[in-house]
Amino acid sequence: MSFEIKKGLYNLDTFEDHHAALGLPVNADASQVRKRYLRIARKLHPDSMVGCSAAEKAQATEVLSKLVNPAYEMLSQDKNRKEYLVLTRLKGQQVKQQKDTLTTGLGEDAKKLGKAPNVEGAYKQLVTQLASTQFDELDKIVEVVGSLSELNLVYLLRQQGNAIPKSPAKPAASPAAGAAQPPAPGMGRPPMPPGNDNQPTIIQTQAHQMSLADGYLRRAEEYLRKKALSQAILELRDGLRAAPKDSRCHSLMGMIYLQQNQATMAKVSIRKALELNPKDLRAIEGRRKLSTMGHKIELAGEANSAPAGGNNATSAKGRSKAGTKSGSKSKGGGGLFGGMFGGGKSKRK
């Protein structure tokens, strides 16, 4: 079953709308998350699907493991949920910037929310209505999740004082290069220009992406313990879609490739992990193992720090020859390398 969703917040890069997956509003608390998950888990459990075929039960299990469980793991833990909410708000700012594109072709429920005078009440009611039948028909689950994500998108937009346009907006005149754009009514201050002021947001976003990979890493490590290497790789690939700059996913994938005797693939993953985090212990170990197999990884920073004239081994060899030559010419065994090559000099005396 394909879980590729191209509606609502799912259109923002590789963002996974976990609230939509569970049928919850974006301001749901921990108790709501747990109650909703238990209700869904009971509904999709094979014992509850009386009269369903084996294929339908397998489909329900896949929905639970690939769509529902990752969402629950993210939203059930306070730390992860708080970080995810911050990331969601950051995505809300992106929605604001791409409003005209993202609100084109919205479903009827999202359009209703876009026009509703009481945003909070209408949002809660519409989410509840869709969630009540979200898992009734397995073949329509993805479609309903997409509609719920559209509601989340419109809600985030309305929270920032933006109404959904009734007709396509006319293209605005392009401002002069370098000219500052004034904030639109209700939108607060304009987006921050590129520069040092933006750096905290960039760092914060990367931190949240790293936390989004935690669930995928746990599942991958569990598969690894069970020797299910292919499933572990799939989990890590999903994790990298959520957090492409998480060195842990890259390094673990590299180690799994080593177990599968795929040295070239392992080298790519280990190199990426070291570029992202040179102190990643698993990546350092993977680099060592690759080196013993004849696959050396040279990083840009290390190449720049190498002595002029070649690598360390070549330079040492050159120094050895220079020292020997100097010793053979010196009657007293002195010179810069006298202490290192004293044995040869004593014989010449």
Q: Which CATH superfamily is domain 8-166 in?
A: DnaJ domain (1.10.287.110)
Per CATH, is 207-305 categorized as 1.10.10.10? no
Dist. CA 11–CA 132, nearest whole Å: 24
> What pLDDT is attached to residue 7?
87
Dist. CA 84–CA 92, nearest whole Å: 12
Radius of gyration of the chain (CA): 29
pLDDT digits over 207-237, tens only? 445 456 788 888 888 888 888 888 888 889 8
For a pLDDT cut of 90, what percent of the chain falls above it?
A: 37
| CA distances in angstroms from 124 to 27, 250, 333, 338, listed in the order given | 10, 39, 89, 84
> What pLDDT is attached to residue 230?
85
User: Are 266 and 257 within 8 A, CB to CB?
Assistant: yes
| Residue 173 CA, distance from chain mean position | 36
Identify the weakest region by mean pLDDT among 15-19, 159-163, 271-275: 159-163
> What pLDDT is attached to residue 163?
55
Dist. CA 119–CA 343, nearest whole Å: 88
Dist. CA 81–CA 348, nearest whole Å: 76
* pLDDT tops 70 at residue 272: yes
Query: Which of 101, 95, 83 has its CA nearest to residue 153?
Result: 95
> What pLDDT is attached to residue 172?
52
Reported as a pLDDT band with limits 50, 70 and 90, residue 320 is: very low
Domain ranges of the chain: 8-166, 207-305
User: Are 151 and 130 within 8 A, CB to CB?
Assistant: yes
